[in-house]
Amino acid sequence: MTFEERTAILNQAPTEEPARQFFFIERMKEIIAEKEAEKGRALTACVNTFGCQMNAKDSEKLIGILKQIGYQEQTSEDADFVLYNTCTVREHANVRVYGRLGVLKKYKDENPDMIIALCGCMMQEEEVVAKIKQSYRHVDLIFGTHNIYKLAELLFHRFTEETMQVEIMEKAEQTVENLPAERKFKFKCGVNIMYGCNNFCSYCIVPYVRGRERSRLPEDVLAETKRLAEDGVKEVMLLGQNVNSYAYNFPELLQKVSEIPGIEHVRFMTSHPKDLSDALIETIKNNDKISRHIHLPLQSGSSRILKEMNRHYNKEDYLALAEKIRKEIPDASITTDIIVGFPGETEEDFLDTLDVVKKVCFDSAFTFIYSKRTGTRAASMPDQVPKRVSQERLDRLLKVVAETASTRTGRLVGTVQKALVEEENSKIDGYLTARLSGNSVVHFKGPKELIGCFVNVRLNEAKGFYYIGELEE
Ligand code: 5AD
Ligand code: SF4
């Protein structure tokens, strides 16, 4: 494309969103079609997602745009376009990305037209972008968390300028919804209800890379869910870093979403213990279309450490809340996130964490060794805990979590539960995997036509975090 042609196209582009992106999707369709004619084959794209549900949701949006402009999706990374949607919540995630970029270089040596792109949370960190610009010159495109909707426009620039493109926005200037999205599952889907986080837990980088809290209007969430239901979605998961601080009444939204025709089950993630309301507990209790699962990150059981973490609750508050949930909704599972080795954590603090785990008897827990994140308050705290000590605490914690989880899963053995069949079991031939309302999974024998259906399964055996069961007629 000549400089003049390119300028003419840029001048024609609408300034309004999402019209502007639909315009660039059309231009990219032409460019991809041309490339395909040149090569005599289809162009392929691979999106690799790191991190949480938010990133998984963003990747569905990214894949939607890529498919729209003509790429064929594939799972292996020897593709014409490879995109890493990165996470930076712990240092380990970053190290993995750098390692894999080395592998991608080899693919690019074989296919010089290959385009390598990076986006997501890690790219919102200045040092990361500087390092990639300097040491990973084979990367073609870098963007952040606030401009994923612009993928087609960014690709247009990459294809017509042939230089590394970097566009990171400090904060979300606007939220552009309703672009094409490719759902990983036909029958279930995440729905963003809010973006960002205002809590500034002292260890956490999320508020810096995802920006301030922005709640979507309830009518927009409901309209999107209605469209999804009409398209065959039976289960939605309402997504936010802290759904309890949703600006327009979360329990009411949950209730209304569950009333949309076609929606059979509603999940939500994540709840901050500091502001989980009685109204929410009441709504879940009275509505069996809402999942029997509350993910309630504890982080630490020590009141002193919780204060240092800026969590706004103490050990007793958490225990009281968990007890209230167990009493009001006895069939709900409670899962959690726990960090060990936060700066200054003593053996005594850690014993408080074990104590809470035993008392609440979590159904399951994600456990992490504290990871120092540049720019957070905890990074400059004294008494960083040695790796050896954290590792030993993590091992002890994992044992206790396994015990509480098996106590909890054990109680459902012998009962029949409703579950949504998600996929074929990857390990046992002829078996399917379905998810219960409480979020644990059951494996059982059945025909793959049941994928996407709610079925009744008898839970025969508990295996720690999952069940083996059989289909009930
Ligand atoms: N180190 C270890 N774990 C962390 N998390 C967030 N930040 C850190 C960190 N710096 C964990 C928290 C959070 C989960 C998503 O990741 O437990 O709930
Ligand atoms: Fe991070 Fe705390 Fe916000 Fe969760 S609530 S994203 S842990 S700052």
Q: What is the pLDDT of residues 391-450, one digit of tens each?
A: 999 999 999 999 999 999 999 999 999 999 999 999 999 999 999 999 999 999 999 999
Task: Say if residue 368's pLDDT is above 90.
Answer: yes
Q: For all residues of the chain together, what is the average pLDDT?
A: 96
Q: Are strands 333-340 and 293-295 parallel, antiparallel or unpaired?
A: parallel
Please indicate whether residue 202, judged by its CB atom, sits closer than 6 Å to ligand 2: no
What is the predicted pLDDT for the residue at 378?
97
What is the predicted pLDDT for the residue at 1?
83
Q: How far apart are CA 149 and CA 58, in angstroms?
A: 9
pLDDT band at 175 (very low <50, low <70, confident <90, very high): confident
Nearest CA among 197, 165, 182 for reference residue 62: 182
Rounded to 10 degrees, the C-alpha dihedral 156/157/159/160 comes to 110
E-only strand ranges, 88-176? 115-120, 141-143, 165-167
Amino acid at 421: V
β-pair partners for 472: none
E-only strand ranges, 304-372? 333-340, 364-369
> How many A from CA of 191 to the centre of ligand 2?
19
> How many A from CA of 434 to the centre of ligand 2?
30
pLDDT band at 177 (very low <50, low <70, confident <90, very high): confident
Task: Say if residue 19's pLDDT is above 90.
Answer: yes
Q: How far apart are CA 24 and CA 72, in angstroms?
A: 18
Residues contacting ligand 1 via CB (< 6 Å): 89-90, 203-204, 297, 299, 337, 339, 368, 370-371, 373
pLDDT band at 72 (very low <50, low <70, confident <90, very high): very high
Q: Are strands 466-471 and 454-463 parallel, antiparallel or unpaired?
A: antiparallel
Q: Has this prediction a pTM greater than 0.85?
A: yes
Mapped onto helix, strand or coil, the DSSP state of residue 312 is coil
Mean pLDDT for 369-397 is 96
What is the predicted pLDDT for the residue at 174?
80
Q: Which residue has the higher pLDDT, 175 or 418?
A: 418
What is the predicted pLDDT for the residue at 87?
96
| DSSP annotation of 384 | P
Q: Is the peptide bond before 407 cis (omega within 30 degrees of 0)?
A: no
Task: Say if residue 473's pLDDT is above 80.
Answer: no
Nearest CA among 473, 466, 417 for reference residue 442: 466
Q: Which atom of ligand 1 is nearest to the CA of 270?
A: 18
What is the predicted pLDDT for the residue at 176?
84
What is the predicted pLDDT for the residue at 431?
97
- What's CA 75's distance to the chain center, in Å? 18
